[in-house]
Chains A and B, each alone.
Chain A
Amino acid sequence: MIFQGEERRQMPTTPADPLRKSGDGDGPGKPDVKRPDTSDLLKRMKRVDPDAARRYRQRSGQ
Chain B
Amino acid sequence: MTRLFGIETEYGIVVEGLGANDWIAESIAVVRAHPGKAVGGWNYRGEDPRRDMRGFTVHALSTNPDDAQFDTPGTNSMSREEERSDRVLTNGARWYNDHGHPEYATPECRSLRDLVAHDRAGERIALASAHKRAEQRGLEVTLYKNNTDFHGASYGTHEGYLMKRDVPTETLIQTLLPFFATRQIYAGAGKCGIENDGAAPSATTFQLSQRADYFSVEASVDTLHNRPLVNTRDEPHAAARRYRRLHVICGDANMSEYTTALKVGTTSLVLSLLEEGLSAPVKLLDPVRAVKKVSRDRTLKTLLERQGGPALTPVEVQRIYLDEAERRLRGRDDDTDWTLTEWATVLDALETDPMLLADRLDWVAKFKLLDAFRQEEDLQWNDSYMQSLDLAYHNIDPEQGLYYGLEQAGEMRRLVTDGHVQAAMSCPPADTRAFLRGLFVERFSGAVRSIGWNGVAFKHNGADFLFDMNTLVEENVKVLNEEFGSLETLDAVVAAIQRRPSDWL
Contacts and interface: CB of A to CB of B under 8 A. Distances in A.
A12 B368 CA distance: 20
Contacts of B419: 26, 32
B312 interface: no
B409 A36 contact: yes
Contact of B98 (A23, A45, A49, A61): A61
A29 B113 CA distance: 12
Contacts of A10: 359
Interface in A28-62: 28-38, 40-42, 44-45, 47-54, 56-62
Given A37-B409, A59-B153, A31 B418 contact: yes
A33 B356 contact: no
Given A36-B409, A61-B100, A18 B334 contact: yes
A53 B59 CA distance: 36
Contact of A60 (B13, B154, B349, B389): B154
Contact of A44 (B383, B405, B410): B405
B154 A35 contact: no
B409 A28 contact: no
B358 A14 contact: no
Nearest to A52: B388
Interface string A6-27: 0011111010111111010010
Contacts of B474: none
A56 B338 contact: no
Contacts of B368: 2
Interface in B340-399: 341-342, 345, 349, 355-360, 368-369, 372-373, 375-376, 383-385, 387-392
Interface string B45-85: 00000000000000000011011001000000000000000
Interface residues of B, number: 78
B359 A56 contact: no
A19 B383 CA distance: 40
Contacts of B100: 58-59, 61
B408 A28 contact: no
Contacts of A36: 408-409
A60 B369 contact: no
A59 B99 contact: yes
A34 to B, nearest CB: 6
A2 B373 CA distance: 9
Contact of B407 (A33, A47, A51): A33
Contact of A19 (B10, B261, B387): B261
A33 B465 CA distance: 45
Contacts of A41: 369, 402, 405-406, 409
A18 B337 contact: yes
Given A11-B357, A14-B338, A59-B100, A50 B388 contact: yes
B149 interface: yes
A62 B402 CA distance: 25
A18 B420 contact: no
6 contacts: A2-B372, A3-B373, A19-B116, A32-B418, A50-B385, A58-B20
Given A12-B345, A14-B342, A19-B338, 11 more contacts: A2-B369, A10-B359, A14-B345, A28-B414, A31-B417, A50-B383, A53-B388, A57-B151, A58-B13, A58-B149, A60-B67
Interface of B: 10, 12-14, 19-20, 23-24, 63-64, 66-67, 70, 98-101, 112-113, 116, 149-151, 153-156, 158, 223-225, 249, 261, 334-335, 337-338, 341-342, 345, 349, 355-360, 368-369, 372-373, 375-376, 383-385, 387-392, 400, 402, 405-411, 414-420
